[in-house]
Amino acid sequence: MISDCYTLQESAIRIYKSSKKTVRKRMAYSNADSTSTIEEQLRQSHIDGPSSRLQVKVKKAREVKLNEEWGTYPMNSTPRGLAVVFNYDNIPNYNERKGSQIDVENLQELCKQLGFKVEIYEDLNKQETLDTIDLVTKNPVMQRGDMLMLFMMSHGDENYIICSDGLELKTEQILRNFTCIELKGKPKFIAFQACRGHEEDVGVTRKAQTDARPVKPTTTQTKDPMWRDMIIAFSTVPGFVAYRDPVYGSWFIKSLVKVFMNSACDKDLLLLLRDVSDVMDKISHKHRYKQSFTWENRSFKRALYFNPGLPNVNNHLERGSYKLQKNRDWFYCCLFTV
């Protein structure tokens, strides 16, 4: 993958200058009339993709849900836990990650409405990142809260991300910090928005901004065997790039925010991730390049419901009564407060 990647608009300008015939061919793919600008047609060419800014509004849960078969992680605390976003925009010898601030804003608003305390860290170097991660595990909010959410967004490759000083930080080194005793038994959702290689999905016919870095030899990471209660999501599959729209943000983060804000009210985390995959399957440019995200379960053995908008659930259980009703394979707990 070449390092000089263009935005959609820059690509259109280059095409227009090089060949009017090429421009006419590109315009023919759009349903827009002949007076539309190249930029408008390119934006219209996405299918349920990053073609508009999200208005983040989380739907509130109407009832507490439990899974009797698997068990349910507690999500009762106020705040629910800690959500931490690390974003790396400006890295020496790398393209600026245009559109990443949109991802930051969307994640901040999503997590806030889900009931989390949100912390944002921008352009830290490698040592600052590690020091901050160490502080996260000891944060008083995390000691009282029920869950940790962590988002790492940068350039990268299959086994690492790039910090603001240009140094590589292994994903496994990041994850190992969250196997500590302070977070024992607490669910952890960790997401990486970064390239994991340099291949593009079948059908790519033009340059697009990615979060890739120049090819460099990598070594295989040996995983620590002691992992508990952790879901790790990657914006793309190993070996492939992750796409980011300069105006609307990355495909993965936008899809995740869209699904969580609409469905966290009644679906557990694993079902939400399945829905994120379904949304991303529908994202496609007119030239048909695609992106598939992946996630990994490390002893995450119970269902997790975010219960957005509900007050302290323990108080409801102490003051109310409930009955279980079977809905397909899931058991929902309906509360009737007195």
Domains within the chain, CATH numbers bracketed = 1-45 (no CATH), 55-61+73-306 (3.40.50.1460)
pLDDT tens-digit readout, 93-145: 999 999 999 999 999 999 999 999 999 999 999 999 999 999 999 999 998 99
Q: pLDDT of 277-325, one tens digit each?
A: 999 888 876 567 788 889 999 999 999 999 999 986 554 443 333 333 3
For the chain, the distance separating the N- and C-terminal CA atoms, rounded to the nearest angstrom, is 62
Q: pLDDT digit string (tens) for 308-320?
A: 999 865 544 433 3
Closest CA to 57 of 253, 308, 233, 269: 308
Q: Is the dihedral of CA 252, 82, 189, 129 positive or negative?
A: positive
Total residue length of the chain: 338
pLDDT for position 290? 85
- pLDDT tens for 104-113 read 999 999 999 9
State the amino acid at position 288 in one-letter form: R
CA distance 294 to 99: 22
Per-residue model confidence (pLDDT) at position 33: 26
30-73 pLDDT, tens digit per residue, is 222 222 232 333 333 333 444 578 899 999 999 999 999 999 99
Q: Give the up-direction half-sphere exposure of residue 17: CA atoms within 13 A in the CB hemisphere.
A: 6
